[in-house]
Amino acid sequence: MRTMIQLIHVSKQYDQRPALSDVTLEIDKGEFVLLMGPSGAGKSTLLRMLIGAERPDEGQIFVHQKNVTTLKPSDIPHLRRKVGTVFQDFRLLPKKSVFDNVALPLLVQGISSADIRRKVTEALRAVGVEHKRDQLPAGLSTGEQQRVCIARAIVNGPVVLLADEPTGNLDPVLTAEIIELFKLINARGTTVVVATHDPLVMAQVNRRVLTLSQGRLLPEHRVLV
Amino acid sequence: MRTLSYLLRESWVNMWTNRTTTMVAILTTAFTLACVGIFLLLYVNLRAAAGWLQDDIKIMVYLDDRLASDSVTEVEQNLRGDRAVASLLFISKEQALGEFKAQFPSESHLLDGLGQNPLPASFVVALSPSFRSPDAVMRWADRVRQVAGVSKVDYNQDWIDALATVIRSIELVAIGIGVILSAAAVTIIANTIRLTLFARREEIAILRLIGATTSFIRIPYLLEGAVLGALGSTLSLVMLKFMYELFRQQMRTTGRFAGLDNLMAFFPPSVCVALIAVGMGLGFAGSFVSIRRFGEAKA
């Protein structure tokens, strides 16, 4: 199976206001896709649906051959262990060190201490903040915090990495660095979906672009590298 | 192992971070459970007092006047073999007459005129504690009436009924107050945990997003509730013991209710352990209620 993510006629409304309307799309395994659109276009809703945080009113969603729309609540944590998530506001635990923040996804799975140490060290090295492992998030720059957030998202070795406006709080130089990091992660075989409204990101990524406008998916254009 | 130590550490961090709230919760739980404890202590002591009164309930088993001495021995063996019988005392016809004369000296001439002793021999029976309820006494008496050689079984049914009613009333009041105050303890702990949950809602949301199961998220809060309940109930026992000793000392110094202070008793160790376990359970329940209300829907 080549398809990693599939949405079939997905619709969602909030208070009679459509957030997504009849969205159908497919993303293949190993693809790097940009999900573009202005604020309120439905990008975050779509990403939240992919991790089972929202249920569509209509349609079906498949991630890694699992029908997310019919998953039992008790199965959702297992889906989320396969899908790493990166947030605009990083969402790091302020009272935990960088190491402990990155270790969390492994800890919730009951992985051994030795494996946790090894995997966290690898993830921190991959994003270039290994030397900050004992610091608290407040002592890091915004770029470093985003790197820690990415390390936490990839520490499990997820099949999909979702990023919701990951460069929203970063300057152009840091944005470029983070995008390079996503490209590296993608090059290792992880499917990457980045939701953004930043044209700078689109220029740097230069890959497939899906555009949402008022909850509808516009005809797509594919940029070849 | 690391997961377990993480969960325990999280519980401790929760309590330490919100130590003022934790202390207030422990103290209020302790006061509430101490109120339950006062009523429980009263109940235990009144129940014991009722038990002493029940010890005084004696059943008279009168024997047929024509019964040969061999048959008397047979009835006695029959009664001694009965598991409901705690103690047995034989009163011969002569002893009965002697007691009558001793108790009613002015009436003794009435019996002299009869020529022979009209009083029957009897057994004075005390029943075991588990056979002292009104129904059990009645069933036992009915059964013994059927025994060959027994002419009559006599006891004070009204007294047994009244005592049973008193004991049942004490039990009902104790249960009622216990339930109400236990619900109060659950509410107090539930509110404390709710504050913690509210303070850590962002952390909980993050844990959910990275794939933590519901039980992984819940365990630290359930542990926290159980610890709060256990500490609250332990403190309540310490307070109760202090009040109990103070009360006994007061009774001794004032000299009122002489001897009653020796009959009073505090909870035995097994009951103390059970009360701490109950406190732990109430804390666990309070925490569970809060977590349920906090909701699983928030991603």
- Among the residue ranges A90-104, A165-179, B107-121, the one predicted with the least confidence is B107-121
Domains assigned to chain A: 1-82+159-215 (3.40.50.300), 93-157 (no CATH)
- Which chain B residues touch A161 with a CB distance below 8 Å? none
Q: Give me the residues of B, 44-103, that contact A with CB < 8 A.
A: none
pLDDT band at B182 (very low <50, low <70, confident <90, very high): confident
ipTM of this predicted structure: 0.87
| pTM of the predicted protein model | 0.69
Mean pLDDT of A209-223: 83
Cβ distance A53 to B212 less than 8 Å, yes or no, reads no
pLDDT digits (tens, 9 = 90+) for B236-295: 999 999 999 988 888 788 766 656 666 778 899 998 999 999 989 988 998 888 888 776
pLDDT for residue A24: 95
What is the full DSSP assignment across chain B? -HHHHHHHHHHHHHHHHTHHHHHHHHHHHHHHHHHHHHHHHHHHHHHHHHHHHHHT--EEEEEPTT--HHHHHHHHHHHHT-TTEEEEEEE-HHHHHHHHHHH-GGGHHHHHTTSS--PPPEEEEEE-GGG-SHHHHHHHHHHHHTSTTEEEEE--HHHHHHHHHHHHHHHHHHHHHHHHHHHHHHHHHHHHHHHHHHHTHHHHHHHHHTT--HHHHHHHHHHHHHHHHHHHHHHHHHHHHHHHHHHHHHHHHH-TTTTHHHH--PPPHHHHHHHHHHHHHHHHHHHHHHHHHH-S---
pLDDT band at B177 (very low <50, low <70, confident <90, very high): confident
pLDDT band at A42 (very low <50, low <70, confident <90, very high): very high
- Which chain A residues touch B211 with a CB distance below 8 Å? 77-81, 105, 108-109, 156
| Of A43, A44, A84, the residue nearest A63 (C-alpha) | A84
Nearest CA in chain A to B203: A93
Q: Which candidate in A91, A96, A148, A149 is best for mutational testing of the B interface (most B CBs within 10 A)? A: A91
Which of A79, A95, A113 is facing B2, going by the closest CB pair? A113
Cβ distance A105 to B6 less than 8 Å, yes or no, reads no
pLDDT digits (tens, 9 = 90+) for B110-151: 767 666 778 889 999 988 888 877 788 889 989 988 888 888
Which of B211, B214, B296 is facing A80, going by the closest CB pair? B211
- Which chain B residues touch A109 with a CB distance below 8 Å? 211
Residues of A with CB under 8 A from a CB of B: 48, 51-54, 73-74, 77-81, 85, 91, 93, 95, 104-105, 107-113, 116, 152, 156
Please determine, for residue A29, whether its predicted confidence score (pLDDT) is greater than 90: yes
Q: Does B135 touch chain A (CB under 8 A)?
A: no
pLDDT band at B2 (very low <50, low <70, confident <90, very high): low
Domains assigned to chain B: 2-53+162-294 (no CATH), 58-155 (3.30.70.3040)
| Segment of A75-84, B29-38, B59-68 carrying the highest mean pLDDT | A75-84
CA distance A222 to chain B (A): 31
